[in-house]
Amino acid sequence: MIDTHCHLNFRAFKDEAPAAVARAQAAGVSSILNVGSQWDTSERAVAMAEGDHRLFAAIGLHPIHLYQQEVDEEETHFVTRAEEFDPVRYHELARRSKRVVAVGECGLDYYRLPPGADSAEVKRRQAELFNAQIDLATDLNLPLIIHCRSGQTERTSPQHEAGREAYDDLFTILQRAVTAGKLPKRGVNHCFLGTLEQARQFLDLGFYISFTGIITFKNAAPELLAVVREAPLNKILTETDAPYLAPHPHRGQRNEPAYVVETAKKIAELKRLSLEEVSMATSHNAQALFGLNQ
């Protein structure tokens, strides 16, 4: 199996990442993609990948790091540090290491807008940042790792009109980029939480969709489980998004790459396939998209 999205480069794994990687390998996880969210975590992901053949790196700037703001949610509490995106600096970081296999995570986040800020201006800046990272991925011939999170209503009703805004804006940006001949490697929408219609839009544009432990939750949205059942097996990836979103039966614990097996098991259950079939297919998909060569 392959964990295509985690954050062993975050403080939650300080001094414990090697042990987590060892546990993942013991659980059958052969490769781990460590994803950056801003400059320091991107640089750390590259350094970690250079020191361990089981690790790969993605570099990018998450939209919430455009502004300094407090993030207080069930599984995390921190204050973001505002960062201006420097494409030259990120380009040089990617060129320093063959272990960099993607740009991201990047995209749109309308769920955590800075309090008191003009929402239209924030969304404009997020779109500008996303386009800059599309250009970076195109220049480097690397796939994108996309983050997309709509407004607060998405938690209770993904079908709600307000829950569509980020996805609609994201699709507009991606369609323009693809039409312009950008993103030859396409990419993946990580931690997919949208509707079947939105999944089809990603697939039609040539992107993969990736599922986390959220699909194992006892209160997982029926609409999301329907996406897992209907999505083509050759366009699905598995991930943990560790240290967040620990799957059942590990809820309440810090998530880690070894737990990606629980997501694969749930996909197998929903698709009425064996775990081996899902593991082989999703690993092949990850290899095809990211070109993971140990």
Over the stretch 26-55, which tens digit does the pLDDT of each residue have?
999 999 999 999 999 999 999 999 999 999
What is residue 71's predicted lDDT score, i.e. its pLDDT? 58
Mean pLDDT calculated for residue range 53-82: 80
Q: Please state, rounded to an integer, the average pLDDT across all residues of the chain.
A: 92
The CATH code of the domain at 2-290 is: 3.20.20.140
Q: Is residue 153 predicted with pLDDT exceeding 70?
A: no
Q: 55 - beta bridge partners? A: 32
pLDDT band at 152 (very low <50, low <70, confident <90, very high): low
Q: Are the beta carbons of 37 and 65 closer than 8 angstroms?
A: yes
For 212-264, how does the pLDDT look when each residue is reduced to its tens digit (9 = 90+)?
999 999 999 999 999 999 999 999 999 999 999 999 999 999 999 999 999 99
What is residue 68's predicted lDDT score, i.e. its pLDDT? 81
Q: Are the beta carbons of 94 and 59 closer than 8 angstroms?
A: yes
User: In this structure, what are the phi and psi dihedrals at residue 179, rounded to the nearest 5 degrees?
Assistant: -60, -35
Cα torsion angle, 262, 258, 214, 273, sign: negative
What is residue 156's predicted lDDT score, i.e. its pLDDT? 43
For 117-132, how does the pLDDT look when each residue is reduced to its tens digit (9 = 90+)?
899 999 999 999 999 9
Residue with tokens 């986390």: 212
| Sequence-ordered list of residues with C-beta below 8 angstroms from that of 216, at least 6 positions apart, any chain | 247, 248, 262, 263, 265, 266
pLDDT band at 178 (very low <50, low <70, confident <90, very high): very high
- C-alpha separations of 178 from 39, 58, 158, 186, 287 in Å: 26, 21, 26, 8, 22
Q: CA gyration radius for the chain? A: 17
Q: What is the DSSP letter of 144?
A: E
Distance separating alpha carbons of residues 126 and 287, to the nearest angstrom: 29
| Sequence-ordered list of residues with C-beta below 8 angstroms from that of 58, at least 6 positions apart, any chain | 33, 34, 35, 36, 42, 45, 100, 101, 102, 103, 104, 105, 145
Structure tokens at 204: 């039609």
What is residue 103's predicted lDDT score, i.e. its pLDDT? 98
| Sequence-ordered list of residues with C-beta below 8 angstroms from that of 243, at least 6 positions apart, any chain | 6, 7, 10, 12, 13, 75, 254, 255, 256
What is residue 162's predicted lDDT score, i.e. its pLDDT? 34
Distance separating alpha carbons of residues 61 and 105, to the nearest angstrom: 6
Which range, of 73-82, 118-127, 198-207, 265-274, averages the lowest pLDDT?
Answer: 73-82
Distance separating alpha carbons of residues 253 and 103, to the nearest angstrom: 28
Q: Is residue 75 predicted with pLDDT exceeding 80?
A: no
Q: Are the beta carbons of 104 and 151 closer than 8 angstroms?
A: no
User: Which residue from 137, 144, 160, 149 is spatially nearest to 108, judged by alpha carbons?
Assistant: 149
What is residue 155's predicted lDDT score, i.e. its pLDDT? 42
Mode of pairing for the β-strands spanning 70-73 and 76-79 = antiparallel
pLDDT band at 19 (very low <50, low <70, confident <90, very high): very high
User: In this structure, what are the phi and psi dihedrals at residue 151, rounded to the nearest 5 degrees?
Assistant: -70, 180
pLDDT band at 159 (very low <50, low <70, confident <90, very high): very low
